[in-house]
């Protein structure tokens, strides 16, 4: 049995999302698609619009639309269920079983009832509703002057013959698919053409249909990032057919097993944490990361490149085997491997790995942590993915909240990698950060190797400053100071008081600058704390804090305990 090809479906989803971003203000693509689907489903099942439809009917239709079972469609939460409300195209929490669900549906449908868009059949009671011919006018009202693109819509709604009941074996061109789509409605041509543009534009793929039909799990993943549906047990949806070997092998590395899933995090989506050394920037992010199923970490440095961070082709040694020849190394020893050859393979960087993991696990938050982001050339390392840091606010710009507002055209090698792993949007050569991909970074602007980050880069991030004034968890720990012991928080507080006005705040001493166990070692404190203050913070202005003329004298005075080399 033939169904819509993977390439055609991904193309259709992209086209519909592009259309929705330019539709009239306040209109929701999800609603229009649902309404149109219900109309088409009535046509497929030869059900007149005047036939009463119960809540169970709607659930069945929606299950067919989503291509998942009714059990997967019903979200179980503490014994409560979500029911689909056909007029609002939304889900309502049922708190008292099916009777309550029907009551809620009735309440939300009252306005439509007054406008004669729907009615309550007296002979069947309040548990069912039916549509009038004015339902199509409601869709037209929501669309305004716009029309839905016919070909992408046909691809999307006819995507699986197992649920639509429409055989696509005779479809061999986009036009024939549109023709099948038109006749599947139980509506007149005039009504249909008032809301759908059936003009077939150029189609970018050779095949509209394929014998490889998507599984339920794939479909739910795709829909999750297309429309804000709510599902139960999304990742447990049973496949409708076997996936090809390459697909399974390619995606396996990025699938998160059930026992390791943690859900969606409430932490910031894109955050830049900054402060002086020892304020706990990395500790904060790694604490948050423990809540997530997957975290990818990278440390920026002056030599970090786009290829290191995103991905690049790298040489790979392979060996010929199967003959009796012996191959010797320079020392005359027999090599364990055969004849060496060199090939090239695309190696994804941590960002691309996090990107794939997030897209393929839409119900799991994935974090990309960039340590010391200001030590590398951040704009150069992010490259074209810098554009993806602009995240949608949701209803304000027509996209799902958190997804990249602007797409980029991926490089050819990256597109090929994403296509192999069946990542959404890859078939169009496009990339957008998904709404469950967190990007967190640490920064100290006054580091010796720090680069100045430009305003265009910084404005795309939330920022959180960690203060040097925050008390340390072990702030009461005694430190051996010549002339009398001081608590750690007291010692660094006195030092920071002298530094105020002398150096930028990012040069101060944070609460965790020294680990607790090193505070009892006078030599460690001298080398790490005094050495930092002399060499990195004050340099030529050391006399403003130190009583000694050289670092050697300052260290000897501290370690011996003879005199305090600090003016505190």
Q: Each residue of 98-115: pLDDT tens digit?
A: 443 444 444 445 555 666
The reported pLDDT for the residue numbered 529 is 96
The alpha carbon dihedral of 47, 50, 52, 54 has a sign of positive
The reported pLDDT for the residue numbered 154 is 84
The alpha carbon dihedral of 392, 395, 400, 402 has a sign of positive
532 — pLDDT class (breaks 50, 70, 90): very high
- Is the same domain home to 328 and 358? no
Closest by CA to 157, choosing from 270, 40, 251, is 40
Q: Which of 239-243, 467-471, 490-494, 523-527 has the lowest mean pLDDT?
A: 239-243
The reported pLDDT for the residue numbered 330 is 65
- Is the same domain home to 385 and 504? no
Torsion of CA 184, 187, 189, 192, to 10 degrees: -90
The alpha carbon dihedral of 198, 204, 208, 213 has a sign of negative
Q: Which of 49-58, 191-200, 356-365 has the lowest mean pLDDT?
A: 49-58
Owning domain of residue 497: 478-560
> Count of domains in the chain?
3
- Is the same domain home to 379 and 485? no
Tell whether 551 is covered by a domain.
Answer: yes
Whether 175 shows a pLDDT value over 90: the answer reads: no
| C-alpha R_g of the chain | 31
Those residues whose C-beta lies under 8 Å from the C-beta of residue 379, and which sit 6 or more positions away, are 386, 453, 454, 456, 457
Those residues whose C-beta lies under 8 Å from the C-beta of residue 320, and which sit 6 or more positions away, are 338, 339, 340, 341
- Is the same domain home to 426 and 300? yes
Whether 215 shows a pLDDT value over 90: the answer reads: no
393 — pLDDT class (breaks 50, 70, 90): confident
Tell whether 331 is covered by a domain.
Answer: yes
Q: Last residue of some domain: 465, 486, 508?
A: 465
The reported pLDDT for the residue numbered 432 is 92
Whether 392 shows a pLDDT value over 90: the answer reads: no
Q: Last residue of some domain: 295, 323, 345?
A: 345
- Is the same domain home to 398 and 537? no
Question: Containing H/E element for 299?
Answer: strand 294-299
- Is the same domain home to 296 and 392? yes
- Is the same domain home to 377 and 270? yes
195 — pLDDT class (breaks 50, 70, 90): confident
Residue 302, Cβ density class (10 Å: 0-12 exposed, 13-18 middle, ≥19 buried):
exposed
Tell whether 269 is covered by a domain.
Answer: yes
The reported pLDDT for the residue numbered 231 is 35
**Which residues pair with residue 370 across a beta bridge?**
298, 441
The reported pLDDT for the residue numbered 53 is 61
Tell whether 148 is covered by a domain.
Answer: no
Mean confidence (pLDDT) of the chain: 76
275 — pLDDT class (breaks 50, 70, 90): very high
| Higher local confidence (pLDDT), 147 or 487 | 487
Provide mean pLDDT across the span 342-369.
91
Question: Containing H/E element for 361?
Answer: none
| C-alpha span between 114 and 53 (Å, rounded) | 18
CB 534 within 8 A of CB 492: no
Coil/strand/helix, residue 172: coil
Q: Which of 85-89, 127-131, 172-176 has the lowest mean pLDDT?
A: 85-89
pTM attached to this predicted model: 0.57
Closest by CA to 431, choosing from 387, 461, 398, 397, is 387
77 — pLDDT class (breaks 50, 70, 90): very low
Tell whether 203 is covered by a domain.
Answer: no
- Is the same domain home to 418 and 327? no
Distances (CA, A) of 156 to 160, 316, 349, 568: 9, 41, 33, 72
The reported pLDDT for the residue numbered 322 is 60
Whether 443 shows a pLDDT value over 80: the answer reads: yes
Per residue in 303-326, pLDDT (tens digit) is 999 999 999 999 887 776 666 666
| Higher local confidence (pLDDT), 565 or 198 | 565
Provide mean pLDDT across the span 163-170.
72
CB 72 within 8 A of CB 234: yes
Tell whether 166 is covered by a domain.
Answer: no
544 — pLDDT class (breaks 50, 70, 90): very high
Whether 379 shows a pLDDT value over 70: the answer reads: yes
Whether 145 shows a pLDDT value over 70: the answer reads: yes
Tell whether 84 is covered by a domain.
Answer: no
The reported pLDDT for the residue numbered 232 is 33
DSSP per residue over 68-119, as a string? S-HHHHS--BTTBEEEEETTTTEEEEESSHHHHHHHHHHHHTHHHHHTTSEE
The reported pLDDT for the residue numbered 262 is 86
The reported pLDDT for the residue numbered 106 is 45
| C-alpha span between 260 and 379 (Å, rounded) | 34
Q: Last residue of some domain: 439, 465, 491?
A: 465
- Sheet with 118-119, strands from edge to edge, namely 53-54, 128-131, 118-119
Closest by CA to 202, choosing from 426, 17, 407, 11, is 11
**Which residues pair with residue 3 across a beta bridge?**
210
CB 252 within 8 A of CB 421: no
Q: Are strands 366-371 and 294-299 parallel, antiparallel or unpaired?
A: parallel
Q: How far apart are the first and last CA of the chain?
A: 83
Per residue in 471-502, pLDDT (tens digit) is 999 999 999 999 889 999 999 999 999 999 99
- Is the same domain home to 455 and 554? no
Per residue in 110-136, pLDDT (tens digit) is 555 666 666 655 554 444 556 666 777
Residue 77, Cβ density class (10 Å: 0-12 exposed, 13-18 middle, ≥19 buried):
exposed
CB < 8 Å & 24+ apart, contacts of 246-251 = 246/420, 247/422, 250/420, 250/421, 250/422, 251/360, 251/421, 251/422
Q: What percent of the chain has pLDDT over 90?
A: 37
- Is the same domain home to 341 and 363? no
| C-alpha span between 563 and 547 (Å, rounded) | 10
E strand residue ranges, 150-195: none
Coil/strand/helix, residue 119: strand
- Is the same domain home to 330 and 421? no
Provide mean pLDDT across the span 356-365.
88
Tell whether 276 is covered by a domain.
Answer: yes
**Which residues pair with residue 239 across a beta bridge?**
none
DSSP per residue over 371-440, as a string? ETGGGS-HHHHHGGGGGGG-B--STTTTS-TTSBSS-EE--HHHHHHHHHTT-TTGGGTEE---TTEEEE
Provide mean pLDDT across the span 430-447.
89
Coil/strand/helix, residue 162: helix
Residue 367 maps to which CATH number?
3.40.50
| Higher local confidence (pLDDT), 169 or 315 | 315
The reported pLDDT for the residue numbered 225 is 47
Q: Which of 209-218, 463-472, 493-502 has the lowest mean pLDDT?
A: 209-218
Provide mean pLDDT across the span 203-228.
57
42 — pLDDT class (breaks 50, 70, 90): low
Provide mean pLDDT across the span 398-407.
80
The angle subtended at Cα 67 by Cα 292 and Cα 359, nearest 5°, is 30
- Is the same domain home to 447 and 511? no
């Amino acid at each position: 049995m033939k169904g819509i090809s993977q390439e055609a479906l991904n193309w259709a989803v992209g086209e519909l999302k592009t259309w929705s971003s330019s539709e009239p203000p306040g209109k929701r693509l999800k609603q229009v698609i649902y309404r149109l689907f219900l109309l088409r489903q009535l046509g497929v099942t030869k059900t007149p619009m005047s036939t009463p439809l119960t809540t169970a009917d709607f659930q069945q239709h929606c299950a067919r639309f989503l291509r998942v079972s009714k059990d997967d469609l019903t979200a179980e939460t503490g014994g409560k269920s979500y029911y689909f409300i056909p007029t609002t195209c939304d889900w309502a929490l049922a708190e008292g079983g099916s009777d309550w669900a029907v009551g809620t549906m009735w309440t939300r449908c009252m306005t439509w009832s007054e406008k004669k868009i729907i009615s309550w059949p007296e002979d069947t009671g309040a548990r069912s509703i039916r549509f009038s011919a004015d339902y199509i006018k409601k869709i037209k009202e929501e669309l305004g002057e716009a029309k839905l693109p016919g070909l992408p819509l046909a691809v999307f709604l006819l995507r699986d013959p197992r649920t639509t009941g429409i055989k696509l074996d005779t479809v061999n061109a986009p036009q024939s698919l549109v023709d099948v789509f038109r006749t599947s409605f139980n509506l007149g041509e005039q009504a249909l053409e008032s809301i759908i543009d059936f003009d077939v534009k150029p189609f970018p793929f050779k095949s509209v249909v394929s014998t490889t039909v998507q599984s339920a799990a794939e479909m739910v993943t795709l829909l999750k990032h297309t429309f804000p549906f709510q599902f139960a047990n999304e990742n447990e949806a049973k496949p409708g057919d076997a996936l090809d070997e390459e697909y399974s092998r390619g995606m396996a590395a990025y699938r998160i097993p059930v026992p390791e899933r943690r859900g969606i995090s409430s932490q910031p989506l894109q955050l830049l944490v900054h402060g002086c050394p020892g304020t706990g920037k990395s500790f904060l992010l790694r604490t948050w990361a423990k809540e997530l199923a997957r975290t990818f970490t990278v440390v920026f440095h002056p030599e970090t490149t786009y290829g290191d961070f995103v991905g690049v082709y790298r040489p790979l040694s392979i060996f010929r085997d199967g003959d009796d020849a012996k191959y010797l190394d320079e020392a005359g020893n027999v090599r364990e491997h055969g004849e060496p050859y060199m090939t090239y393979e695309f190696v994804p960087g941590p960002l691309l790995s996090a990107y794939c993991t997030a897209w393929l696990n839409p119900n799991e938050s994935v974090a990309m942590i960039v340590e010391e982001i200001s030590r590398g050339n951040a704009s150069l390392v992010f490259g074209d993915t810098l554009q993806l840091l602009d995240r949608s606010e949701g209803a304000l710009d027509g996209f799902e909240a958190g997804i990249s507002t602007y797409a980029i055209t991926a490089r050819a090698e990256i597109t090929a990698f994403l296509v192999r792993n069946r990542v959404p949007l890859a078939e169009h050569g496009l990339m957008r950060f998904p709404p469950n991909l967190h990007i967190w970074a640490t920064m100290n602007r006054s580091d010796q190797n720090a680069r100045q980050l430009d305003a265009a880069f910084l404005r795309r991030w939330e920022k959180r400053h960690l203060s040097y004034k925050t008390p340390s968890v072990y702030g009461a720990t005694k430190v051996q100071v010549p002339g009398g012991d001081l608590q750690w928080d007291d010692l660094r507080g006195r030092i920071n008081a002298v530094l105020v006005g002398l150096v930028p705040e990012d040069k101060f001493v944070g609460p965790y600058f020294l680990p607790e166990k090193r505070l009892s070692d006078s030599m460690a404190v001298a080398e790490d704390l005094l050495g930092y203050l002399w060499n990195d913070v004050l340099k030529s202005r050391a006399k403003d804090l130190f009583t000694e003329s050289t670092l050697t004298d300052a260290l000897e005075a501290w370690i011996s305990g003879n005199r305090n080399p600090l003016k505190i």
